[in-house]
Structure 1
Amino acid sequence: MPMEHTNCSAASTVVETAIGTMLTLECILGLMGNAVALWTFFYRLKVWKPYAVYLFNLVVADLLLATSLPFFAAFYLNGKTWKLGHTPCRVLLCLLTCSRGVGVAFLTTVALDRYLRVVHPRLRVNSLSLRAAWGISSLIWLLMVVLTPQNLLTCKTTQNSTECPSFYPIGETEVSATCQEVLFFLQVLLPFVLISFCNGGLIRTLQKRLRESDKQPRIRRTRVLVAVVLLLFGLCFLPSVLTRVLVHIFQEFESCSVQQAIVQASDIAGSLTCLHSALSPVIYCFSNPAFTHSYRKVFRSLRGRRKAAGSPSSNLRDCYS
C-alpha cells in the first residue's frame, strides 16, 4: 500500500482471519476448479480453436495464481507476520501479480475474440490459425512478465524481516510507485471498458440475428455468460480500484481510525482480486458443455455417486458460434 504510518497500527485480528480464510478458500476452489478445466482441455476437447487457446492460457494463469495463495493466507492468519524472508516474499508477490495480470488479459482477449467473430465476421483477423493464437498468447505472457518485475525489483521492504507488502508492493522511489499505480489502473480499467464494450456489441448483434424462437435459448445463455463475466470482473477488481483511490485521497489524514479503515479495506479488496481464479470455471461451463460435464462428474464423485456410463464426448462449440 502506498500509505504508511509507522506510529499507527492497523492490526485487526477479525479482518486478518477473515482474509486468510478467504484466501484459503480461493486457493482450494481455484486449484480444484482449474485442475478439472485443465483435464478437460487435454482429454475432452476434440477440436481446438483460438478461443480454446485463450481459455487454456486463462486456466494456466489461474492455477499459478492459486499456488501462491497459501503463503499469503498464512501471512494473514499469522497476524500479517511473514516468516519466509524478503526473497520469497518478492518472488511470490511477482508470481501473484503476473498471473493475476495475465488472467485479466486473457479474459479481455476472449471477449475481444468473440466480439470480432460475431460482430465483424469478415475481418481477416478472424481467420487466425492455432499457431497465430499461440503466438498471441505468448506475447501476452511476455508483456505481463516484462511489466511485472517492477513489483519484484522495486518493491519496498522494511528492516523487519517479518513484513511483506502483500497485494500492494511499494516502489522505492516516488516515480516507481507512481508507475506501479498507473500500471495497476490501466490493467484493470482498460480491460473492464473493453470487456463491457465487446459484450454489449455481442448481445446487440445476436439479438438482431437470432430472432427465431428456437434460437432464443442461445441468446439467453449468452446474456447469462456476459452477465457472469461482468459480475466476476466487477466483484474482483472494482473494489480494489475504489480502495486505492481512497488511499490517495486520505493518505494525509492523521486519524488512526481512518488509516486503519483504509488499510483493512485495501487488504480485503486485494484478496478479492484473487477470487476470479476460483470463479473462472463458471465461465468455462457457459462456454462449452464439455466443461459442464466434467464438473458434474467431479461433483458426482465427491458425493459418492457412480460415474454415468457412456457419456458422449463434446467438441469445442462455444455458445457464440
Structure 2
Amino acid sequence: MISTVTTGQPSMTMGQAPDNCNVPNIVTYKTLSWVMIGEFVLGLPLNLSVLYIFIFRFKFWKNKSVFLFNIVVADFLLVACLPVKAFHYRNGLRRSDDNTVCKMMLFMLFLNRGASIAFLIILSVDRYFNVVHLGRRNFVKVLKKSPQISIIIWLLLLPLTIPTMLKTFECCNSHGRTNETSFHDVTDTFREIVFFTQILIPFIILVYCTVRIVNRLRKKTVGEKTKLRRAVWVVMSVVVVFSICFLPSTIARVVLLSVRLLEKQDAENIVVQIYDGLMVLSYTDCLLDPLVYCFCNSGFKDAYISTFCPKFLQERLLTSYTVNGTGGMTTTTTSATRTNSLPIL
C-alpha cells in the first residue's frame, strides 16, 4: 500500500479505511465540505420546487416531459448524497470507513451521473432530429410518448453501476494500487472504462448535434430562425452543464491515474485534492439542470415564474398574461412579426 501524507488524523486500524483514504490536507477538504453543504442548501429547495411544478402545475406526463422529470429524479439522488459526503470530508476521510455506506454512496453517485447524462443527451438528440432532419421519423419523439422507456433506461444503467457494489472502490480511485488481486484489477478497470465512456461518448454526440444545428440555423431564412435559436439554446445549455460539471473531473481523473501508475506520491497528494475539488464542482449539475428545463420547454419556465417569483419580477419576466376560454392561463410574447402564446397548465 502506498502511504500518504499524514494530516493529524489517527492511524487507521484493522476494519477501518486504509491510510490512502485519509485526506492529504484537512483544510482543503473542510473547505470542500462547506461547498457541498452550500450545494445541498441551494439544491434541495430548488429541486423540490421543480418537482412541484412538474407534478402539480406542468403535469409532465401530459406535456411529453417525462425525460425532464427523470433528470429531476437523478438530481435528487445526488442531493441526498451531499450531506453524507460533506460529513466524511469534515472528519478527514475521502470516503466512509463503513464499506456498506461507501458502496451505497458510490452506487448513488454513479447512477445519478449516468442517468443525468443519458437523459440530457436524449434531449439534445431530439432537438437535433427536429431541426436537422425535420419531416423524417424522429424515434426520440416516439420514445417520449412512452413512460416505460424511462424505466428501461434506468434498468440499462444498472449493469454499469452495480460493479461499484462488487468490491470496495477505495477512495473512488483504487486503480494502480500494488495490492490488487486479478478480480480487483478487472473490476476497477471496468469502472474506469465506464467512468470515461459515459462522459466522452455523449460529449462527442453533443458536439456533433450542436454543430449541425448551428449550421442549419445559418442556412435558414429570417422567418424560420426563432425555433432554431431555441434549439441552439437547448443544446448549448447541455454543453454548459457538461463543460462545468463533467469534463473537468474527467480530465483530472486521467491525470490522477497517470500519477498513481508512475508511483509519484507527492504529486498524487496534490492531484487528488484537485480531482476531489472538481468532483465537488460536478455536483453543481443539480443546480444547473433547471436551466435546461427552461430552455427545453418555455411552458415550464412560465409556470415556475408565475408560481414562485414575486409579482414585480413576474411583470418583467413575463410580458403579459391572458386568460383563455378554458380557464387556463397563457403567456403572450410579442415580436415585430408575430405573437406567440405559451400555455401554462
TM-score (norm 2): 0.75
> What is the Cα deviation at residue 281 of structure 1?
0.8
Partners of 2:98 and 2:165 lie apart in 1 by: 14
Distance 1:8 1:79, change over 3 A: closer
Partners of 2:132 and 2:289 lie apart in 1 by: 24
> What is the Cα deviation at residue 225 of structure 1?
3.6
In the alignment, residue 257 of structure 1 is paired with which amino acid? D
1:5 matched to which residue of 2? Answer: 2
Distance 1:223 1:119, change over 3 A: closer
Q: Does 1:117 align with 2:134?
A: no
Higher RCO (Cα < 8 Å, 6 or more apart): 1
Distance 1:221 1:313, change over 3 A: same
Partners of 1:298 and 1:111 lie apart in 2 by: 28
Match of 2:201 among 176, 185, 190: 190
Match of 1:235 among 244, 254, 257: 244
> What is the Cα deviation at residue 204 of structure 1?
2.3
Give runs of aligned pairs for residues 166-245 of structure 1, distance below 5 A: 167-168=172-173, 173-212=184-223, 216=225, 218-245=227-254
Q: Deviations over 1:105-139 (max 9, x none)?
A: 1111111111112222312525516553x232122
> What is the Cα deviation at residue 201 of structure 1?
1.6
Partners of 1:95 and 1:126 lie apart in 2 by: 26
The answer on whether the counterparts of 1:100 and 1:274 sit within 8 Å (CA) in structure 2 is: no
Partners of 2:139 and 2:261 lie apart in 1 by: 49
The answer on whether the counterparts of 1:94 and 1:148 sit within 8 Å (CA) in structure 2 is: yes
Partners of 1:227 and 1:279 lie apart in 2 by: 12
> What is the Cα deviation at residue 266 of structure 1?
1.4
- Greater Cα radius of gyration, structure 1 or 2: 2
Structure 1 or 2: more strand by fraction: 2
Distance 1:196 1:81, change over 3 A: closer
Q: Does 1:281 align with 2:278?
A: no
In the alignment, residue 66 of structure 2 is paired with which amino acid? V
Match of 2:74 among 51, 61, 64: 61
Partners of 1:71 and 1:39 lie apart in 2 by: 25
Match of 1:26 among 34, 39, 42: 39
Q: Deviations over 1:13-66 (max 9, x none)?
A: 231022112222222222222222211111222575785111111111111111
Q: Specify the SS of the correspondent of 1:234.
A: helix
Distance 1:184 1:252, change over 3 A: closer
Distance 1:219 1:123, change over 3 A: closer
Distance 1:199 1:81, change over 3 A: closer
> What is the Cα deviation at residue 313 of structure 1?
4.0
Q: Specify the SS of the correspondent of 1:64.
A: helix
How many residues get paired? 299
2:310 matched to which residue of 1? Answer: 300
In the alignment, residue 200 of structure 2 is paired with which amino acid? L
TM-score (norm 1): 0.81
In the alignment, residue 211 of structure 2 is paired with which amino acid? G
> What is the Cα deviation at residue 233 of structure 1?
0.4
The answer on whether the counterparts of 2:237 and 2:295 sit within 8 Å (CA) in structure 1 is: no
The answer on whether the counterparts of 1:26 and 1:275 sit within 8 Å (CA) in structure 2 is: yes
Identity of aligned residues (%): 30
2:277 matched to which residue of 1? Answer: 268
**Structure 1: gaps (5+ residues):** 158-164
In the alignment, residue 267 of structure 1 is paired with which amino acid? D
Q: Specify the SS of the correspondent of 2:65.
A: helix
The answer on whether the counterparts of 2:99 and 2:168 sit within 8 Å (CA) in structure 1 is: no
Distance 1:136 1:46, change over 3 A: closer
The answer on whether the counterparts of 1:34 and 1:59 sit within 8 Å (CA) in structure 2 is: yes
Partners of 2:262 and 2:60 lie apart in 1 by: 57
Q: Does 1:44 align with 2:57?
A: yes
The answer on whether the counterparts of 1:68 and 1:95 sit within 8 Å (CA) in structure 2 is: yes
Distance 1:115 1:218, change over 3 A: closer
